[in-house]
Amino acid sequence: MQVSSKEKFWLTAPITFFLLVMLGFPLLLDLIYSVSEVTFENLLAPRLQGFENYFETLQDPTYWDALAFSLKFGLTASLVQLFLALFLAIYLEPLLARHPWLMAVLMAPMMVAPALIGLMYRLILHEFVGVIPYYLWEWVGDSPAFLGTENAFLTLVTIEILQWTPFALLILYTAYRSIPSHLREAARMDGANSLQLLMLVELPYMMPVILLTFFIRFIDSFRVFDNIYVLVGSGAGGTSTSLSIYIYKAFFRGGNIGQAVAASVLLFLAALLLIALLERFSRRMETT
C-alpha cells in the first residue's frame, strides 16, 4: 500500500492554497491594477484603461534611474563580495579548519537585520559624533559627506558588501572544503604547483557554487531596501533610489498606485527571466 492520491492531495493542499492566496492572488491583483486607472478611492472597482500605467512608468526617468541604480548596486556588491569571499575562504581555510569557531565570529553580521546595520551607520558616519569622521579628521584632516549625492552609492555599496561577504564566504568555504582530496593528490602527482592546482583543479571544481553564490548575492543586493531606506530615507534627490524604494515611494508617498504596480509587474517579469536562466544553468550543471 502506498500514499493514496487522496492523501497526496490533502497533504499538499495547505501549502498550495497558502501560495495561491498569498502570492497567486496578489499577482493577479498586480496584473489587473497595472492595466487600470486606480486610486485609493476606487480600489475595489478599478477602471480598465489599457497599458497607460506601463507607458507612464517607462517614460519616467526616475524609474530608469532606479533600475540603473539597482543593477549597478547589485553587480558591484555581488562581484566584490564574491572575490573577497573567495580569497578569504581559500586563504583562511587552514586556520578555519583548525578552529571552526572562528567562522562564527565572521558570521555574526549575517544574523543582524540590515535595517539595524543601517541605523548603526547613521551614528558611525555622523559628522559630529560618528567614529569614522572623527578619525578621518584626526588623521587626514578632512571627512567627506558619506551620504551626500556624490558619495552615497559608494557608502551604501560598501555597507552592503561588509555585511554580506560572510554569507558568500560561508558557502564558498564549504564548497572549497568539499573538494575531494584525491583530485588534489592526483594534480600534485602530475607535478602541479599551488597556483596551477588552484586555477586548473580547485576553481573549476567550485565553479557551479561560485556562479550560484554570485546569483544569490546579486538578487539580494539588487532588491536592496532596508539599509538604504533607514540611512537616506527614500533617496536624497533620487541618487540612491533602488527599484524597491521606487515602488515603495510611488505607492506610499506618491499615492501613484498604477505606476507602482506596473513597476512591480515589470520587476516580476525580469525576475522570471533570471529564474529561467538559473534553471537552465543548473540543469546543465546537473547533466555535466
Partner 1 sequence: MSMLFRWLIFGFAALLFNFPLLSTLLTSLKSEGEIVSNPSIIIQSPTLANYVKIFEMADRVDILPFLWNSLVISALGAFFALLLAFPAAYVIVRTGFGRNWLLPFVLNLRALPLIIFAIPLYMMFQAVGLLDTLLGLALIMCIINLPLTLALLSSTLRNIPEELDDAARIDGASTLSIILRIILPLSVAAIASSSVLGFVYAWNEFLFGLMLTTKSATPITVGASFFFSASGGGVKWGVASAVIMLSLLPPLIVGLLFYRSIGSSLTGGAVKG
Chain residues 269-288 in contact with partner 1, contact rule CB under 8 A = 271, 274-275, 278-279
Pick out residues in 139-158 that bind partner 1 (CB under 8 A): none
The whole-angstrom separation of Cα 266 and Cα 106 is 37
> From the CB of 164, what's the least distance to partner 1, in Å?
10
Pick out residues in 74-133 that bind partner 1 (CB under 8 A): 88, 91-92, 94-96, 100, 102-117, 119-124, 126, 128-131, 133
Contact between 7 and partner 1 by CB under 8 A: the answer reads yes
The whole-angstrom separation of Cα 205 and Cα 201 is 6
> From the CB of 69, what's the least distance to partner 1, in Å?
14
The whole-angstrom separation of Cα 265 and Cα 244 is 12
CB atoms < 10 A from the CB of 279, how many?
10
> From the CB of 177, what's the least distance to partner 1, in Å?
10
- Burial string for 234-244 (b: 16+ CB within 10 Å, else e) reads bbeebbbbbbb
> From the CB of 184, what's the least distance to partner 1, in Å?
18
Cα dihedral 213, 218, 224, 226, rounded to 10, equals: 10
Pick out residues in 24-53 that bind partner 1 (CB under 8 A): 25-30, 33, 43
- Region for 86 from its dihedrals, namely left if φ exceeds 0, alpha if ψ lies in -120 to 50, beta otherwise: alpha
Pick out residues in 163-202 that bind partner 1 (CB under 8 A): 163, 165-167, 170-171, 174-175
Pick out residues in 216-275 that bind partner 1 (CB under 8 A): 216, 219, 222-223, 225-226, 229-230, 243-244, 247-248, 251-252, 257, 260-261, 264-265, 267-268, 271, 274-275
Contact between 65 and partner 1 by CB under 8 A: the answer reads no
Cell numbers for 250, please give them. 510611488
The whole-angstrom separation of Cα 246 and Cα 235 is 9
